[in-house]
C-alpha cells in the first residue's frame, strides 16, 4: 500500500477537507502516515488568510521538492486549498516539482486527479465551478468532536477578507449528505457535532424552510446523548427563530461565535460589515437576556487601513462593554485582490499594528478571566475530551464552551460528568468531580 501525508494549515474548514481527502485516498489504497519522509504522496492543504500562512506553505513544499529531486523521483506532491485556488498555474511555475494544484472547489475530484498524476501528468484544477459532491468516505481525526461543513463560500465581500475569492460564492450542502455524515459520526462514537460554515445562518437546504434551525431540529431528533454546535454566525443574520431553536432544543449548546471585527462604526463601514456598534450590542443584549450563561465569542482586527488611535480604542471599549467571553485577534494583513489591500496609503505602520494587537490581547485576557470567574463554585456538566495519564487530569468542555481541567486517574474521554468549579484562570477553569 502507498502512503499519504497531509499537512494542513489554517482553519477548521481546511482540517475538515483533510479528513475528506484521507477518506477518498483510502479508497485508492493509500494509508495515512504521520511521517512525511516515508510518504509516496504529500499534500499541503494551504491557507491564505494571512501572508505568514502563505509563506509557510511555499516553504514546506520547497523542502519536499528537495527530497523529490535528491532521492525520491516518484514522490507526488499536491498543492491544495486556498492558496492553490488563487495562484493556479503560477504554483507550477514557482514550484516545478508540484504534480497537482487542487483548488478548494475541486476537492471531490481528487481521486480522478490522483490517477492522472500517477501516470506522470501534471494537473491544475482550480475551476470555480464546484465538482459535484458524492457520499464519500471520511477519515475523521479521532476525537469526541466531529466538524461537519454544512456550507461553503461567502457572498459578503468584507473588504479585508480573501474567503470569497478562495472559497467562492456561498453554497449549502444537501441535507441528506449532512445527515448521513452526522449519523455516521454518531455511530462511530463522536459525542459532539459542530456544524461548520463561513456564515452558518445562511444555510438553505434546497426546499422552503430548510434553514439552519430546521437542520438543528433534524439532528437534535436523533437518538443518543450528544451535543450540537454551529459556527460562524454573521451578526445581523441571527434570527429570532434561531435563538428560539437554541433555547428549545436540548442538545444544542448555548454558544455563539459572532465576529465583530471592530468596535468603531466608521471602520465597520470601511470593512463593508453591515452593522454598527449599537446593532451588534443589541444582538448581544438580546442573546444574554434570553439564554442564561450563553457564551459569546468574537473576532477582531487591529490596525485596519486608516484606523486612528481613537477608532482602535472604540474596539477596546466594545470588548469590555459587551463582556465578550473570548475573542480571536489578529493584526491586519493585506490580501491581494481584496478592496482594502489597495488602500496602501492608509496602511498602519507595523510597529503601531503590533502595539495595538498587544493591547487588544491584554484586553481579551482580562475579559476572559472575568467571564471565567462567573463560574466559581458552580456545578456544571462537562464532556470529557482528553485524559493526560502523566498528570492524572481529564479535560472537558461545558455546554457553553468553557474548558475545565479536573484531577482524575482514569481515561473517561467521551463521557459526560458533573464537576464543581474550584478555580478560574484566564483560558480555563479548574474543577473537581461531584
Cα 400 from Cα 390, distance rounded (Å) = 28
Q: Does 161 bind ligand SF4 (CB under 6 A)?
A: yes
* Contact residues for 179 (Cβ-Cβ < 8 A; gap 6+): 218, 219
Decide: 425 and 369 in contact? Cβ < 8 Å.
Answer: yes
Binder among 10, 36, 164, 175 for ligand SF4 (CB under 6 A): 164
- Residues in the interface with ligand SF4 (CB under 6 A) total 10
- 466559581: which residue's cell? 376
Among residues 5, 64, 190, 234, the one that binds ligand SF4 under rule CB under 6 A: 234
At 290, give phi and psi (nearest 5°): -100, -25
| Closest residue by Cα to residue 11 from 172, 200, 149 | 149
C-alpha cell at 168: 467562492
Nearer to ligand SF4 by Cβ, of 60 and 231: the residue is: 231
CB of 199 or CB of 372, closer to ligand SF4: 199
- Which range touches ligand SF4 (CB under 6 A), out of 27-35, 73-81, 99-107, 149-157? 149-157
CA distance 269 to 262: 10
For ligand SF4, the closer CB: 179 or 330: 330
Considering the rule CB under 6 A, would residue 157 count as an interface residue with ligand SF4?
yes
**238 interacts with ligand SF4 by CB under 6 A:** no
As measured in angstroms, the least distance from the Cβ of 233 to ligand SF4 is 10
Stretch that binds ligand SF4, among 161-169, 248-256, 312-320, 325-333 (CB under 6 A): 161-169
**Between 158 and 419, CB nearer to ligand SF4:** 158
Nearest-CA neighbor of 268 among 176, 323, 340, 216?
340
Which residues, 6 or more positions from 38, have their beta carbon under 8 angstroms from its beta carbon? 3
Measured distance CA(334)–CA(352) in Å, rounded: 15
CA distance 391 to 232: 34
Tell whether residue 156 is a contact of ligand SF4 (CB under 6 A).
yes
Give the interface segment with ligand SF4, choosing from 28-36, 71-79, 112-120, 155-163 (CB under 6 A): 155-163
Residue 298 or 395: which CB sits closer to ligand SF4? 298
The piece of 5-13, 69-77, 150-158, 284-292 that touches ligand SF4 (CB under 6 A) is: 150-158
- Residue 269 CB partners (closer than 8 Å, separation 6+): none
For residues 268 and 260, what is the distance between their CA atoms, to the nearest angstrom? 9
Rounded least distance, CB 157 to ligand SF4, Å: 6
Q: Can you tell me which of 163, 212, 283, 296 binds ligand SF4, judged by CB under 6 A?
A: 163
Site membership for ligand SF4, residue 33 (CB under 6 A): no
Closest CB 197 distance from ligand SF4, rounded Å: 9
Rounded (5°) CA angle 225-230-231? 150
The residue among 166 and 430 lying less far from ligand SF4, judged by its C-beta, is 166
Size of the chain, expressed as the number of residues it contains: 434
| Span of 9-17, 20-28, 151-159, 417-425 interacting with ligand SF4 by CB under 6 A | 151-159
d(CA 418, CA 64): 48
Residues 367, 320 contacting (CB under 8 angstroms)? yes
Is the Cβ of residue 99 or residue 152 nearer to ligand SF4 in the bound state? 152
CB of 362 to ligand SF4, least distance (A): 24
Residues 387, 393, 399, 401, Cα dihedral to 10°: -90
Outline where 249-396 has alpha helix (H).
265-270, 277-290, 309-321, 350-373
Among positions 21, 83, 158, 302, the unique one binding ligand SF4 when judged by CB under 6 A: 158
Q: State the minimum distance, in angstroms, from the CB of residue 156 to ligand SF4.
A: 4
In degrees, rounded to 5, the angle at the alpha carbon of residue 265 between the alpha carbons of residues 259 and 267 is 75
Of residues 158, 154, 185, the one with CA closest to residue 172: 154
Whether residue 408 is preceded by a cis peptide bond, meaning omega within 30 degrees of 0, is no
3-state SS class at 372 = helix
* 236 touching ligand SF4, by CB under 6 A: no
Nearest by Cα to 372 from 281, 295, 292: 295
Residues 184-213 that bind ligand SF4 (CB under 6 A): 198-199
Residue 164 or 263 having the CB closest to ligand SF4 = 164
Of the two residues 273 and 405, which places its CB atom closer to ligand SF4 in the complex?
A: 273
Using rule CB under 6 A, residue 14 touches ligand SF4: no
For ligand SF4, what does the binding mask look like between residues 297 and 336, x meaning CB under 6 A?
A: ----------------------------------------
Residues that bind ligand SF4 (CB under 6 A): 154, 156-158, 161, 163-164, 198-199, 234
Amino acid at each position: 500500500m502507498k502512503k499519504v501525508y497531509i499537512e494542513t494549515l489554517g482553519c477548521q474548514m481546511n482540517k475538515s477537507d483533510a479528513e475528506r481527502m484521507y477518506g477518498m485516498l483510502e479508497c485508492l489504497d493509500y494509508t495515512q502516515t504521520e511521517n512525511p519522509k516515508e510518504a509516496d504522496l504529500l499534500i499541503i492543504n494551504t491557507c491564505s488568510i494571512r501572508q505568514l500562512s502563505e509563506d509557510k506553505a511555499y516553504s514546506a513544499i520547497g523542502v519536499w521538492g528537495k527530497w523529490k529531486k535528491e532521492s525520491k523521483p516518484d514522490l507526488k506532491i499536491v498543492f491544495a486549498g486556498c492558496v492553490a485556488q488563487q495562484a493556479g498555474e503560477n504554483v507550477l511555475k514557482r514550484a516545478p516539482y508540484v504534480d497537482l494544484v487542487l483548488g478548494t472547489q475541486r476537492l471531490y475530484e481528487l481521486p480522478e486527479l490522483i490517477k492522472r498524476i500517477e501516470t506522470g501528468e501534471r494537473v491544475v484544477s482550480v475551476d470555480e465551478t464546484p465538482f459535484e459532491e458524492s457520499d464519500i468516505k471520511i477519515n475523521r481525526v479521532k476525537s469526541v468532536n466531529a466538524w461537519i461543513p454544512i456550507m461553503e463560500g461567502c457572498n459578503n465581500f468584507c473588504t479585508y477578507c480573501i474567503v470569497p475569492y478562495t472559497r467562492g460564492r456561498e453554497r449549502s450542502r444537501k441535507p441528506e449528505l449532512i445527515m448521513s455524515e452526522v449519523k455516521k459520526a454518531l455511530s462511530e462514537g463522536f459525542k459532539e457535532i459542530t456544524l461548520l460554515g463561513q456564515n452558518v445562518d445562511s444555510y438553505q437546504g434546497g426546499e422552503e424552510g430548510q434553514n439552519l434551525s430546521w437542520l438543528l431540529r433534524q439532528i437534535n431528533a436523533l437518538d443518543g446523548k450528544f451535543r450540537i454546535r454551529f459556527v460562524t454566525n454573521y451578526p445581523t443574520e441571527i434570527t429570532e427563530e434561531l435563538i428560539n431553536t437554541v433555547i428549545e432544543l436540548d442538545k444544542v449548546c448555548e454558544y455563539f461565535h459572532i465576529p465583530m471585527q471592530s468596535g468603531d462604526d466608521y471602520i465597520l463601514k470601511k470593512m463593508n460589515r453591515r452593522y454598527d456598534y449599537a446593532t451588534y450590542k443589541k444582538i448581544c443584549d438580546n442573546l444574554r437576556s434570553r439564554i442564561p450563561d450563553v457564551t459569546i465569542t468574537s473576532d477582531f482586527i487591529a490596525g485596519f487601513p486608516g484606523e486612528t488611535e481613537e477608532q482602535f480604542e472604540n474596539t477596546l471599549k466594545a470588548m469590555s462593554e459587551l463582556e465578550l467571553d473570548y475573542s480571536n485577534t489578529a493584526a491586519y494583513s493585506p490580501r491581494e485582490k481584496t478592496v482594502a489591500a489597495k488602500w496602501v496609503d492608509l496602511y498602519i505602520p507595523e510597529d503601531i499594528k503590533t502595539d495595538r494587537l498587544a493591547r487588544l490581547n491584554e484586553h481579551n485576557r482580562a475579559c476572559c478571566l472575568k467571564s471565567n470567574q462567573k463560574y466559581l463554585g458552580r456545578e456544571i456538566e462537562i464532556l470529557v475530551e482528553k485524559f493526560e495519564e502523566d498528570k492524572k487530569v481529564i479535560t472537558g468542555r461545558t455546554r457553553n464552551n468553557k474548558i475545565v481541567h479536573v484531577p482524575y486517574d482514569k481515561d473517561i474521554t467521551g463521557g459526560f460528568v458533573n464537576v464543581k468549579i474550584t478555580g478560574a484562570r484566564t483560558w480555563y477553569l479548574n474543577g473537581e468531580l461531584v
